[in-house]
Chains A and B, each alone.
Chain A
């Protein structure tokens, strides 16, 4: 017993075999959970919130599912982290990375059971990953020089990404939207300039790309609804009252007229502030905070369009795209950079009125307006489109492209298999296992589509034995097809990220031989 007392009361410790077992079980459970969402015929999940409101989300996006899970298993947490990192880095392949890592662990479990040391497995995996990457590198296509071809590559990638999402029925339309939006960025990966607005009503096909910027706000009463050649001042300032922020400050007076004077003075102060703002020579004023009736009327009198209560995101974007700066003091008109745009007008989308800024300073900026039947749909559509935009913007920077539909996995598996045969020693088992894990991905894609995976993968393997083969799984017709002809492509960067981070995660989990759970911090009973 004495040794047990090293740890605190509630803390626990798992060692060796048991610890490894726990990690394997956790990681594999997570993999099985998201596995069915993989590929064009993957299924969706309902995420039911146990919190207040019992909100329901329907999604197919691996990162979203994993992010919201309750997890109490350290190994499972590692997998969730890699999925998050994948989401931040390249935006797509969040499910693939978890599935590959899970499959690697599943294979590793068998090897451990066969009494192979985890370190041997790790070094085998490392060699195999390196080899797989090189194999893929040799087969990449790079159309950087040919703008025409590159654009069609982008279209293909967008379509492939979208085909596994809710937007698959209208993928042509959305692929075009996404490619247009990304081409406008001209190589920058700043997705902030692409704004996505969701408006329920209509159908997904009614979604459109709009150059310029749309703000979901109303124009103040009695102010012009249309301004050409607008000079915009973006501000974050209190337009209700300038309060004295010293606590307990109060004024003592001895008559009612004095109170009226103070009120008058307050009004006067506000008027001065408005005058200062108008003195910038602007005709549009956008504020993050409320604009009270009084200043609103002053602006209306001066013919200035004032927009109140724009959210943080909104004004930051607006400042970015119109080339202005967010101001909060107005004493030096010359030092404040104003934003410009050609036309501001009120437009109507569905039932709502929005404010449209067109001809903005930053030509890259654009807005995608999503329409759809319900909020569930719109949220999911936004996530899908975001994935596509991320992948495309990454591809613009790294123009290398590979084929899709399980093709890269088969190419890698073939190379890794060959390596296994040339490698002496126990490592070769690990390398072989790596190749089996890679093949698991096309297997799962086929399984999800309700196809006979064993048969298809065997066919695929046979096809790949030939040199320079482009075979992959054609889920639509349910057979092996030529991926180059079908136009299914993926970004090399995504594939590489999937491969490397999945290997790293598997390696990390394999290295664990002891899990120590710290004693939970006691909550004070505040009730």
Chain B
């Protein structure tokens, strides 16, 4: 290490000062870098958007259409480009969907800013005007939105399938969309109807089958097989399940200890004692009527040994070992039981009950399913299947997006049209508004309005349509008052998009616009890049 640090030249004051290029150059460079990031993901927008293949440094290959994932894997170095990656992450956190849209909008805004800057408008003026325009845009969008009831399952499914339509798994959207809706609705707590914790939905991936075989399971699924090294049971009806955090193995103390064996007979005695010790534990477990054991992984010592597995099998207790500590909370919540940390506390009231626990073989692998849980907590599990790892991973990401879409609708119950309709409408209304404003502001707002047309333009372009013809016709239709006219990519023409069931949550659109504007404003305000420690 010492050599490396020494090799670095001591950067003196004067050196780093030369490093700082002129402000205009810096801004130009920032904007260009950010735009090239936006251009990279542009082609993956919309239902006919293309996928990207990413081969990571570790040789892993990922195929995806999800903007956040693509950007996350791209190792960008330029700080401003990094901010765009961050932007996509924030959209992922805020709304879960629209991660490509947000980056494309930011790229278009930056392009407009570049020309505004070249007119000599001060960056802070542009930044303030953008803020005003985005606030106004959110108002316009809210006015366009249609309220929604949670009982309206149809609409929820529609919006989930709009999100899924742009993914690899689009042909399965009829299956996945209802699945996403059902799983989110099943974890909504009636006491807090606005809150959905997606951590209550567990996604288990299993290779084999096709995406068609993906299913929602009312219960628990473990992505591992039951331990039956010693021939233990693999199916248990009327299960009494215990989640244990202690180990069924020979005792180990925290103090360093060693057993001194002085002659051979003692050896036998020790073996016998070990057997008795484990047998004693298992008897205690058996006494409570427990017949399924979930054992938490332990790093300090073996969670179970062959010997204890043998005895457990004899006692007809099914064992699932190596349960991760992080999963314990989810499991206990689902099973409505308490974890047991010590054999002395092993009591019947801490057990969870289920009708059936069984090991099922899927493809060439096995999983353990727990169904018919008594007093089940508000959790749910989705088992995702697919013919290869790439498809499964992408299916999981797409499903996550769909879940987020439904969650958005639960927390903010408004729907808005898709297919570029809101963007064109925004562009029209803001364009009209810009004429009322005075000075630089009006000029900047008009640029903002123009930038928003990038979404329908790109949608059309990716679908192989003539973008200019489509965008101009859209403008025309909207000017005539058809505020829901949008691009119907399947038919390749412009239709009333609400009738085509292409809808998305309001939250996705509003957060895309506000986040993109905030990010652009931040980039605009930067006039220097300083290398620091």
Instruction: Give the chain A neighbours of B253 by CB distance below 8 A.
Output: 251, 259, 262-263, 266
Instruction: Give the chain A neighbours of B259 by CB distance below 8 A.
Output: 252-256, 258-259
- Nearest Cβ in chain B — how far from A479, in angstroms? 14
Verify if B3 is at the interface (C-beta below 8 Å from A). Answer: yes
* Cβ contact within 8 Å between A256 and B250: yes
Verify if B277 is at the interface (C-beta below 8 Å from A). Answer: yes
Instruction: Give the chain B neighbours of A527 by CB distance below 8 A.
Output: 1-3
Query: Contacts A255-B259, A266-B254, A527-B3: A36 and B527 contacting too (C-beta < 8 A)?
Result: yes
* Cβ contact within 8 Å between B258 and A222: no
- Which residue in B77, B296, B529 is a CB contact (below 8 Å) of A46? B529
Instruction: Give the chain B neighbours of A465 by CB distance below 8 A.
Output: none
* Cβ contact within 8 Å between A45 and B530: yes
- Which residue in B5, B257, B530 is a CB contact (below 8 Å) of A251? B257
Query: Contacts A29-B17, A523-B6, A525-B3: A252 and B260 contacting too (C-beta < 8 A)?
Result: yes
- Nearest Cβ in chain A — how far from B330, in angstroms? 11
- Which residue in A26, A49, A266, A375 is a CB contact (below 8 Å) of B532? A49
- Nearest Cβ in chain B — how far from A480, in angstroms? 18
Verify if B342 is at the interface (C-beta below 8 Å from A). Answer: yes
Interface residues of B in 1-56 (CB under 8 A from A): 1-3, 5-6, 10-14, 16-17, 20, 23, 30
Q: How far is the CA of A294 from the CA of B526 in the complex (A)?
A: 53
Q: How far is the CA of A267 from the CA of B192 in the complex (A)?
A: 40
* Cβ contact within 8 Å between B13 and A71: yes
Q: Per-residue 0/1 for B190-202: is the Cβ within 8 Å of any A Cβ (1 yes, 0 no)? A: 0010010110000
Please classify the interface of chain A as helix (H, G, I), strand (E, B), loop, or mixed, using the class held by over half of its residues: mixed
Verify if B248 is at the interface (C-beta below 8 Å from A). Answer: no
Interface residues of B in 234-264 (CB under 8 A from A): 245-246, 250-262
- Nearest Cβ in chain B — how far from A162, in angstroms? 15
Verify if B531 is at the interface (C-beta below 8 Å from A). Answer: yes
Q: How far is the CA of A222 from the CA of B514 in the complex (A)?
A: 40
* Cβ contact within 8 Å between A221 and B332: yes
Verify if B328 is at the interface (C-beta below 8 Å from A). Answer: yes
**Number of B positions contacting A (CB below 8 A):** 81
Instruction: Give the chain B neighbours of A200 by CB distance below 8 A.
Output: 90, 93
Q: Per-residue 0/1 for B63-83: is the Cβ within 8 Å of any A Cβ (1 yes, 0 no)? A: 000000000000001011011
Q: How far is the CA of A16 from the CA of B250 in the complex (A)?
A: 79
A45 closest partner in B (C-beta): B528
- Nearest Cβ in chain A — how far from B98, in angstroms? 14
* Cβ contact within 8 Å between A263 and B529: no
**Number of A positions contacting B (CB below 8 A):** 79
Q: How far is the CA of A118 from the CA of B217 in the complex (A)?
A: 83
* Cβ contact within 8 Å between B10 and A72: yes
Verify if B273 is at the interface (C-beta below 8 Å from A). Answer: yes
Q: How far is the CA of A221 from the CA of B260 in the complex (A)?
A: 40
Q: How far is the CA of A200 from the CA of B94 in the complex (A)?
A: 8
Instruction: Give the chain B neighbours of A46 by CB distance below 8 A.
Output: 30, 79-80, 526, 528-530
Q: Per-residue 0/1 for B176-203: is the Cβ within 8 Å of any A Cβ (1 yes, 0 no)? A: 0000000000000000100101100000
Instruction: Give the chain A neighbours of B491 by CB distance below 8 A.
Output: none
Interface residues of A in 299-332 (CB under 8 A from B): 300-301
- Nearest Cβ in chain A — how far from B293, in angstroms? 15
* Chain A binder among B351-359, B380-388, B497-505, B515-523: B515-523
Verify if B219 is at the interface (C-beta below 8 Å from A). Answer: no
Verify if A41 is at the interface (C-beta below 8 Å from B). Answer: yes
Interface residues of A in 318-363 (CB under 8 A from B): 348, 350-351, 353
Query: Contacts A46-B79, A51-B533, A527-B3: A259 and B257 contacting too (C-beta < 8 A)?
Result: yes
Q: How far is the CA of A41 from the CA of B338 in the complex (A)?
A: 58
* Cβ contact within 8 Å between A373 and B14: no
Query: Contacts A44-B525, A46-B79, A293-B245: A526 and B2 contacting too (C-beta < 8 A)?
Result: yes
- Nearest Cβ in chain B — how far from A418, in angstroms? 36
Verify if B490 is at the interface (C-beta below 8 Å from A). Answer: no
* Cβ contact within 8 Å between B86 and A375: yes
Q: What would 25 A/B residue contacts be, using CB atoms closer than 8 Å?
A: A29-B14, A29-B17, A44-B526, A45-B529, A46-B79, A48-B79, A69-B532, A70-B11, A201-B93, A203-B514, A253-B260, A254-B261, A255-B269, A259-B251, A293-B339, A293-B341, A297-B339, A301-B345, A351-B198, A373-B87, A377-B518, A377-B522, A449-B124, A524-B2, A526-B2
The 3 closest A-B pairs by CB, nearest first: A450-B122, A256-B273, A68-B532
- Excluding A48-B531, A373-B94, 16 further A-B contacts by CB distance (< 8 Å) are A46-B529, A56-B83, A58-B83, A68-B533, A69-B532, A200-B90, A201-B90, A252-B260, A254-B259, A293-B341, A353-B197, A374-B519, A375-B86, A376-B86, A525-B2, A527-B3
